[in-house]
Amino acid sequence: MADKNNEWFDWLKALLFALGLAFIVRMFLFSPIVVDGPSMLPTLHDQDQMIVNKFTYKISEPERFDIVVFHASAQKDFIKRVIGLPGEHVEVKDEVLYINGEPVEEPFLREQKENMKSYQTITNDFTMEDLPGEYEVIPEGHVLVLGDNRGNSTDSRMLGVISMDQIVGEASLIYWPLDRMQFVGK
């Protein structure tokens, strides 16, 4: 009888340990997110399920073109691409991204640009000064984010720059649906 009690106690300890470990991993290291909407097409599709790495930005800063998840409000997280970093002036003019006056290639938009008609635009022209906050450069501790589907994305053009404190983590792995399983990013 004592052996059976010890066996149940051992199982209970193992189960509690596994639950505690899962809680720690989910809370501090990785968590799932479901893409909601078309704002990151063609890179991410509506209902793609991804893993968010919450740990990356505890030891490093976001880099240009990282795909990040951030708290847009208390109830809603958004997923967008980092375009501008602290201290930079960002501008888009005639479909060209300029960082501090220098053109920067956006490889993830190449297919969209190749397939667009002469009368279409992917990204309407804007400068930092046009955005909420009317900053000349991105303040320290903030980034500028845009969706890849620029014509259908609520991003820094409406929200303003995003505080690093709002960033949950980097989203770089689609795990569902299986036929779309891949690492995404730059």
What dihedral angle (degrees, nearest 10) is formed by the CA atoms of 152, 140, 60, 78?
A: -20
- 13 flagged as catalytic: no
- Kindly report whether the global pTM for this prediction surpasses the value 0.95: no
Please choose, from the candidates 114, 79, 81, 78, the residue with its C-alpha nearest in 3D space to the C-alpha of residue 95: 114
Query: Can you give the residue ranges of every domain in the chain?
Result: 31-183
pLDDT tier, 146 (very low <50, low <70, confident <90, very high otherwise): very high
Token readout for 115 is 């397939």
Dist CA 28 CA 115 (whole Å): 41
Q: What is the CATH number of domain 31-183?
A: 2.10.109.10
**Confidence (pLDDT) at 183:** 84
- 39 flagged as catalytic: yes
Catalytic residue, from 13, 31, 39, 73: name it: 39
Catalytic residue, from 80, 153, 156, 172: name it: 80
**Confidence (pLDDT) at 140:** 96
